Amino acid sequence: QVQLQESGPGLVKPPQTLSLTCTVSGASISRGGYYWSWIRQHPGKGLEWIGHIYYSGSTTYNPSLKSRVTISVDTSKNQFSLNLSSVTAADTAVYYCAREDIDESGSFYAHWGQGKLVTVSS
Amino acid sequence: QSVLTQPPSASGTPGQRVTVSCSGGSSNIGRNTVNWYQQLPGAAPRIVMYNYNKRPSGVPDRFSGSQSGTSASLAISGLQPEDEAEYHCAAWDDSLNAWVFGGGTKLTVL
């Protein structure tokens, strides 16, 4: 079955860059047909969409984070990555990677990673 | 401040029917279908309803979804203790060109 796993540092100093990688198993990013996304959840809060990428490298970002976000894909490793620059304490959150499935009526997140808590602190 | 509005909490006793509401606007729920995610404490979200009324395999038929205008709701009938969780609604927003979520509703089974 499809599995996603986030990896990367759990502690980042401000104003450095937060970098996470999502490794996908059970599905090939390069086959297309899905968007690969990053979503975060601040402690005790709701979910916030960061952005997504298609296997071709085409990206869409949340306008509120667009100036600081880069999502990239490495189809040879079946991974996609998140870089969030100039972090502050407000970027402390659990970061999830997820696969966006598409059907004839719309799309939805059917597969999620377990989440990676990233704390921003000096 | 979430783009979609959900009540922060809801509750019911075992066997009851409860509904969780989600209110949005013309650029999100008014144009696109709503998805619902269930999140148990310490776990990743899990899809329980997509395209407002489709249930993924493995989700009991006690769960149902509806959508009208700029609002949507998730109904759970025959409430079970294992339904106690946080529920999040989500929709694509055509103006923001982004997914937007509600703040989440914590459902307590009394």
Residue A10: phi and psi, rounded to 5, are -95, -10
Give the per-residue pLDDT at A5: 98
Residues of chain B scoring pLDDT < 70: none
Q: Indicate the DSSP class of residue A66.
A: T
Instruction: Tell whether A112 lies on the interface with B, counting CB pairs under 8 A.
Output: yes
Residue A99 pLDDT greater than 90, yes or no: yes
Give the per-residue pLDDT at A104: 80
Q: Which of residues 89-108 of A touch B (CB under 8 A)?
A: 96, 103, 105-108
Distance CA A4, CA A27 (A): 10
Give the per-residue pLDDT at A105: 79
Mean per-residue pLDDT of chain A: 96
Distance CA A36, CA A49 (A): 12
Give the per-residue pLDDT at B4: 97
Contact residues on chain A for B1, CB-CB shorter than 8 A: none
- Average pLDDT rounded to a whole number, residues A27-48: 95
Residue B5, strand partner residues: B23
Q: Which candidate in B28, B35, B99, B105 is best for mutational testing of the A interface (most A CBs within 10 A)?
A: B99
Residue A106 pLDDT greater than 90, yes or no: no
Burial of A93 (0-12, 13-18, 19+ CB in 10 A): buried
Give the per-residue pLDDT at B66: 95
